[in-house]
Amino acid sequence: MRSEEWFEEAVEFKKGVSTALQVQKKLHSEKSKYQQIDVYETVAFGKMFSLDGVIMVTEADEFCYHEMISHPALCTHPNPRSVLIVGAGDGGVVREVLKHPEVEGIELCEIDEKVIEISKKFFPHVSKDLGNPKVKIVVQDAIEYIKEKHKEYDVIIVDSTDPVGPAEGLFKRDFFINCEKALKDEGILVTQAESFFYDPQFISGIFEKTRGIFPVMKYYYTMIPTYASGTIGFTFCSKKHDPEKDLHEERARKLQDLKYYSTGIHRAAFVMPVFTKKFFK
Q: What is the CATH number of the domain that holds 23?
A: 2.30.140.10
In this structure, are 236 and 258 located in the same domain?
Answer: yes
Residue pair 192/248 in contact by the 8 Å Cβ criterion: no
Residue-level pLDDT at 4: 64
In this structure, are 127 and 241 located in the same domain?
Answer: yes
Residue-level pLDDT at 170: 87
Q: Which amino acid is at 147?
A: K
* DSSP per-residue letters across 204-256: HHHHHHTTTT-SEEEEEEEE-TTSGGGEEEEEEEESS--TTT---HHHHHH--
Q: What is the pLDDT of residues 11-43, one digit of tens each?
A: 666 777 888 999 999 999 999 999 999 999 999
Please confirm, yes or no, whether 159 is among the known catalytic residues: yes
Q: Which amino acid is at 218?
A: K
The number of domains in the chain is 2
Quote the CA–CA distance of 195 and 50 in Å, as a whole number. 18
At residue 10, does pLDDT exceed 90?
Answer: no
Expressed as residue numbers, the domain containing 224 is 62-280
In this structure, are 32 and 129 located in the same domain?
Answer: no
Q: Which one of the listed residues 159, 162, 174, 257 is annotated catalytic?
A: 159
268: number of Cβ within 10 Å: 11
Q: Please state the rounded mean pLDDT for residues 193-219.
A: 91
Residue pair 72/190 in contact by the 8 Å Cβ criterion: yes
211 part of a folded domain: yes
1 part of a folded domain: no
- Can you name the residues that pair with 218 across neighbouring β-strands? 236
In this structure, are 97 and 51 located in the same domain?
Answer: no
Residue-level pLDDT at 18: 83
Quote the CA–CA distance of 222 and 65 in Å, as a whole number. 7
216 part of a folded domain: yes
If DSSP codes are grouped into helix, strand and coil, which group holds residue 201? helix
Residue pair 225/198 in contact by the 8 Å Cβ criterion: no
Give the contacts of 82 (CB within 8 A, at least 6 positions apart). Answer: 103, 104, 105, 106, 152, 153, 154, 155, 184
| CATH number, position 150 | 3.40.50.150
Residue pair 269/67 in contact by the 8 Å Cβ criterion: no
223 part of a folded domain: yes
Give the contacts of 162 (CB within 8 A, at least 6 positions apart). Answer: 11, 54, 194
In this structure, are 138 and 241 located in the same domain?
Answer: yes
Confidence of residue 169 (pLDDT cuts 50, 70, 90): confident
In this structure, are 240 and 273 located in the same domain?
Answer: yes
Confidence of residue 1 (pLDDT cuts 50, 70, 90): very low
In this structure, are 84 and 46 located in the same domain?
Answer: no
